[in-house]
Chains A and B, each alone.
Chain A
Amino acid sequence: MNEKLILRVVSKFLIPYILLFALYVQWHGDFGPGGGFQAGVIFAAGFILYALIFGVAPVREVIPAAFTRYLLAVGVLLYSSVGVASLLMGGNFLDYNVLAHEATHGQHIGILLVELGVGITVACAMITIFCTFAGRAELNAPEEEEED
């Protein structure tokens, strides 16, 4: 792996921008193309690119398996809890109008939180699935890696 100098340098240069772009897509999805799903996938792609070049273990040091596993549930729970919150505040399930005094303001808050939940779950799902696959590959054939 040490010989892939260009890949290592270019990926290290690119990954911060990939993550920044993911955040832009996440928070700007209300106004432009994009949203939680795309942002989650792009965010995960940054980590997956790192894992492809430097291996799964360094990525797992940054985001441990337990961390992504918890956040996987946190995203779905955030989404559902927005629905429950609107129920408790007197509206229908996932009716964001009641979340604030003004209907459109409530919609803004609801959509922002819901998209954040989608983004968290998607990003963690992609990282989890990739690291599980790739971690198993490294487990099965650690000798092959040196030949690459």
Chain B
Amino acid sequence: MSDEWIIIILMVFMAISGVAIARLHNLFAVVMLTGIFSLLGAAAYVVLDAVDVAFTEAAVGAGISTVLMLGTLALTTSEEKPTPPRHMLAALAVVGITGAVLLYGTLDMPHYGDPNAPVHHHVAPRYLEESEKEIGLPNVVTSVLASYRGYDTLGETFVIFTAAAGVLAILGRVRRPKRRNERGQTTEETLK
């Protein structure tokens, strides 16, 4: 019971930070709030006993992506350009209808913690019962990720490799430190 209250309180905090993110124009504050949003999500995962997911969410969502967003702000600007509000009613209608459709979609889904949910009757029981014997590791999450679903994890590793390679291909070309030449141009300007 207390678990449910903790989840509800965390969800309320997440909703508040979500609304604040939408309304704020100072992008630095927005980046900080997205980090807080991820940290609250990580706390919710801990309550749901998904420690591995919480770990990843805290490290990637709250840590690395916040730092990367700050790096982007350092390259661009930390103040959003004010745009005059237009078509506000139409936007509200689109958001409202989308939200209603999403809520309608969840009606078909099994309830939280439902033991009859299909996800608990496919391969999960076998993983939980047999992985100790077949793999010999106490952490089932690691067994599933690295062994049963090793092919998927290989794909994910390639995705991360590709992401870094993409960033290098787009941004990683200028390696010389900025020095002004006799005409006052920077190295980057002369390279263009």
- Please name all residues of chain A whose beta carbon is closer than 8 Å to the beta carbon of B137 when the two chains form the complex: 30-31, 107-108, 111
Does B164 lie within 8 Å of A107, measured CB to CB?
A: no
Q: How far is the CB of B189 from chain A (nearest CB, A)?
A: 11
Does B178 lie within 8 Å of A139, measured CB to CB?
A: yes
Does B163 lie within 8 Å of A35, measured CB to CB?
A: no
Q: How large is the interface on B (under 10, 10 to 19, 20 to 34, 35 or more residues)?
A: 35 or more
Which A-B residue pairs are the 4 nearest by beta carbons? Answer: A104-B136, A133-B71, A125-B164, A33-B51
What is the size, in residues, of chain A's interface with B at 8 Å between Cβ atoms?
Answer: 57
A-B contact pairs, 14 of them (CB 8 A): A33-B51, A41-B63, A45-B63, A52-B67, A72-B164, A76-B157, A79-B154, A93-B151, A103-B134, A107-B136, A110-B150, A114-B150, A132-B167, A132-B171
Q: How far is the CB of B138 from chain A (nearest CB, A)?
A: 5
Binding site for B on A (CB under 8 A): 25, 29-38, 41-42, 44-45, 48, 52, 65, 69, 72-73, 75-76, 79-80, 83, 93-94, 96, 103-105, 107-108, 110-111, 114-115, 117-118, 121-122, 124-126, 128-130, 132-134, 136-137, 139-142
CA–CA, A69 and B164, complex, Å? 9
Q: How far is the CB of A97 from chain B (nearest CB, A)?
A: 9
Pick the contact of B168: A115, A128, A139 (CB < 8 A): A128
Q: A41-B60, A124-B164 are in contact. Are A31 and B139 (CB under 8 A)?
A: yes
Q: A30-B139, A33-B141, A69-B168 are in contact. Are A137 and B64 (CB under 8 A)?
A: no
Q: How far is the CB of A48 from chain B (nearest CB, A)?
A: 6
- Please name all residues of chain A whose beta carbon is closer than 8 Å to the beta carbon of B167 when the two chains form the complex: 128-129, 132-133
**Interface code B20-63, partner A: CB below 8 Å = 1, 0 otherwise?**
00000000000000000000000000000001101110011001
Of the listed residues A31, A45, A107, A129, the one surrounded by the most CB atoms of chain B closer than 10 A to its CB is A129
Given A121-B160, A128-B167, 8 more A-B residue pairs with CB atoms under 8 Å apart are: A33-B52, A48-B67, A65-B172, A96-B150, A104-B136, A125-B163, A132-B167, A142-B178
CA–CA, A25 and B146, complex, Å? 15
CA–CA, A137 and B31, complex, Å? 17
Closest residue on chain A to residue B67 by CB atoms: A48
Pick the contact of B171: A29, A37, A133 (CB < 8 A): A133
Binding site for A on B (CB under 8 A): 51-52, 54-56, 59-60, 63-64, 67-68, 71-72, 74-75, 133-139, 141-143, 145-147, 150-151, 153-154, 156-158, 160-161, 163-165, 167-168, 171-172, 174-175, 177-178, 188
Does B59 lie within 8 Å of A41, measured CB to CB?
A: yes
Q: How far is the CB of B142 from chain A (nearest CB, A)?
A: 5
- Please name all residues of chain B whose beta carbon is closer than 8 Å to the beta carbon of A75 when the two chains form the complex: 157, 161
- Please name all residues of chain A whose beta carbon is closer than 8 Å to the beta carbon of B153 when the two chains form the complex: 79, 114, 118
Does A35 lie within 8 Å of B145, measured CB to CB?
A: yes
Q: A34-B52, A111-B146, A122-B160 are in contact. Are A133 and B72 (CB under 8 A)?
A: yes
Pick the contact of B139: A29, A107, A118, A141 (CB < 8 A): A29
Q: A79-B154, A107-B136, A128-B167 are in contact. Are A30 and B161 (CB under 8 A)?
A: no
